[in-house]
């Protein structure tokens, strides 16, 4: 059994992670931390966990967390990097669901997140936790940077095209939409029901924090910098991301569907849909799947890819548990075989 701790268990990502961990057959959940809720039973704050967990929130402590095999951070950006070096020194493996270890260049991190990085040496060794490209590295990683939700959907959608050099990777377009849970659990006027219901709007057009993460990952695949226009939107639903991706063909493509099917044939959580079938966010709600369709409208020179995930699952907590399974040589799908919730 793996002894597991969760730092920051009170947000949407945190409770989704707890939902998965309390039923995982190889997990003993020992610590769930929250400064604000310390001393309160976890199931009191989240009644959906009643009967599954009987521990209280505690103050975050490196001394206590050092007893764990793995610690998840479901905390605001800038928190994990303050504690991770000591945990690593105590042979604790770490999976960070925030952005502290995603960007390899500390100067780029500071530009986008407005703070100096606290442990550049650990950052250098951290592994980007997208299993579909980094599975072998994840297995031996001490620190895994769990990918962001938009980067997961966009990268998986573009990946086969870029790997095979089939498109002009200097003019990529990602038109993505997310439910309001992606904004977190904190109170915000923009996510009030009266503000977000019956409404649809873009945001972060001039620069979203996930943009450098996506470009870094795609550049690693391409072997050079890529050009990307990324426009996220807020849609009036709770969970889900749909990314419509556009790229211009620069070489002959015979069978796009076969290309995607072959690339993801051994990936347990990527589902390439039958030709002509449209992805829907409801088909991944509560599940760790990414579902993808690829199109070439009117057999023109533009390829359109649609990629859907649950932002709290494959876009966050589900992928984090997938990474844990890989790190500890467990069946990668263990604890992650949920069927999507319909309706």
pLDDT in tens, 88-108: 999 999 999 999 999 999 999
Which pTM value belongs to this model? 0.96
Q: Are residues 104 and 243 in the same domain?
A: no
Q: Is the pLDDT of residue 183 over 80?
A: no
Compute the average pLDDT of residues 223-248: 97
Q: Is the pLDDT of residue 187 over 80?
A: no
Q: Is the pLDDT of residue 184 over 80?
A: no
- Boundary-marking domain end, from 125, 160, 179: 125
The answer to the question of residue 31 being in a domain is: yes
The answer to the question of residue 42 being in a domain is: yes
Q: Which residues contact 176 (CB under 8 A, 6 or more apart)?
A: 150, 153, 154, 230, 231, 232, 233, 241, 242, 243, 244
pLDDT band for 252, please (50, 70, 90 cuts).
confident
Q: Are residues 17 and 95 in the same domain?
A: yes
- Boundary-marking domain end, from 92, 109, 125: 125
The answer to the question of residue 77 being in a domain is: yes
Q: Are residues 67 and 208 in the same domain?
A: no
Residue from 56, 68, 119, 149 carrying the catalytic annotation = 149
Q: What is the mean pLDDT of the chain?
A: 96
Q: Which residues contact 280 (CB under 8 A, 6 or more apart)?
A: 308
User: Which CATH number does the domain housing residue 179 bear?
Assistant: 3.30.360.10
- Are the C-beta atoms of 77 and 98 separated by less than 8 Å? yes
pLDDT of residue 193: 81
Q: Are residues 154 and 259 in the same domain?
A: yes
The answer to the question of residue 332 being in a domain is: no
Q: Is the pLDDT of residue 195 over 90?
A: no
pLDDT of residue 83: 97
The region of weakest confidence among 44-58, 228-242, 244-258, 283-297 is 244-258
- Are the C-beta atoms of 340 and 284 separated by less than 8 Å? yes
pLDDT of residue 181: 87
The answer to the question of residue 294 being in a domain is: yes
pLDDT of residue 197: 84
pLDDT band for 186, please (50, 70, 90 cuts).
confident
Q: Are residues 162 and 304 in the same domain?
A: yes
Check the CA dihedral 279-237-198-195 and report its sign: negative
- Boundary-marking domain end, from 125, 159, 182: 125
Domain that holds residue 202: 150-310
pLDDT band for 173, please (50, 70, 90 cuts).
very high
Q: Are residues 114 and 229 in the same domain?
A: no
Known catalytic membership, residue 149:
yes
Please tell me the distance from the alpha carbon of residue 140 to that of residue 21, in angstroms, as a whole number.
21
pLDDT of residue 165: 95
The answer to the question of residue 239 being in a domain is: yes
Q: Is the pLDDT of residue 20 over 70?
A: yes
The region of weakest confidence among 48-57, 183-192, 238-247 is 183-192
The closest alpha carbon to 159, from 214, 207, 208, 212, belongs to 214
pLDDT band for 76, please (50, 70, 90 cuts).
very high
Q: Is the pLDDT of residue 228 over 80?
A: yes
Total domain count, the chain: 2
Q: Are residues 112 and 27 in the same domain?
A: yes
The answer to the question of residue 316 being in a domain is: no
Q: Are residues 301 and 185 in the same domain?
A: yes
Top pLDDT among 199 and 13 is at 13
pLDDT band for 185, please (50, 70, 90 cuts).
confident
Q: Are residues 118 and 186 in the same domain?
A: no
The answer to the question of residue 141 being in a domain is: no
Give the pLDDT confidence of 7-16 residue by residue, as tens digits: 998 999 999 9
Q: Is the pLDDT of residue 291 over 80?
A: yes
Measured CA distances, 189 to 185, 197, 208, 238 (Å): 12, 12, 19, 16
Q: Are residues 165 and 263 in the same domain?
A: yes
Give the pLDDT confidence of 316-337 residue by residue, as tens digits: 999 999 999 999 999 999 999 9
Please tell me the distance from the alpha carbon of residue 289 to that of residue 156, in angstroms, as a whole number.
11
Q: Are residues 221 and 115 in the same domain?
A: no
User: Which CATH number does the domain housing residue 93 bear?
Assistant: 3.40.50.720
Q: Are residues 158 and 305 in the same domain?
A: yes
């Amino acid at each position: 059994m793996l002894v597991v701790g969760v730092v920051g268990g009170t947000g949407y990502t945190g409770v989704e992670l707890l939902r998965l961990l309390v039923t995982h057959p190889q997990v003993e959940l020992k610590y769930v931390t929250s400064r604000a809720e310390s001393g309160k039973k976890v199931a009191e704050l989240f009644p959906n966990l009643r009967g599954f967990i009987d521990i209280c929130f505690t103050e975050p402590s490196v001394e206590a967390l050092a007893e764990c095999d793995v610690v998840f951070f479901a905390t605001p950006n800038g928190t994990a990097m303050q504690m991770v070096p000591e945990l690593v020194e105590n042979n604790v493996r770490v999976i960070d669901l925030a952005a502290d270890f995603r960007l390899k260049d500390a100067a780029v991190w500071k530009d986008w997140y407005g703070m100096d990085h606290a442990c550049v040496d650990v950052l250098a060794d951290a592994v980007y936790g997208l299993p579909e490209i980094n599975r072998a590295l994840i297995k031996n990683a001490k620190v895994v940077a769990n990918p962001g939700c938009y980067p997961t959907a966009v990268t998986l959608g573009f990946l086969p095209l870029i790997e095979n050099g089939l498109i002009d990777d200097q003019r990529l377009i990602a038109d993505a939409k997310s439910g309001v849970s992606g904004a977190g659990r904190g109170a915000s006027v923009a996510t009030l029901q009266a503000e977000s219901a019956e409404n649809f709007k873009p945001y972060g057009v001039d620069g979203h924090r996930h943009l450098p993460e996506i470009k870094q990952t795609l550049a690693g695949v391409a072997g050079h910098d890529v050009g990307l226009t990324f426009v996220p939107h807020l849609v009036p639903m709770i969970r889900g991301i749909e990314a419509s991706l556009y790229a211009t063909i620069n070489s002959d493509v015979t069978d796009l569907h076969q290309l995607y099917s072959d690339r993801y044939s051994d990936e347990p959580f990527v589902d390439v849909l039958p030709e002509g079938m449209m992805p829907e966010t409801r088909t991944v709600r509560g599940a760790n799947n990414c579902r993808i369709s690829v199109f070439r409208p009117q057999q023109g020179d533009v390829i359109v890819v649609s990629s859907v995930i649950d932002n709290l699952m494959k876009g966050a907590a589900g992928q984090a548990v997938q990474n844990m399974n890989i790190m500890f040589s467990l069946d990668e799908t263990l604890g992650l075989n949920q069927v999507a919730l319909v309706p």
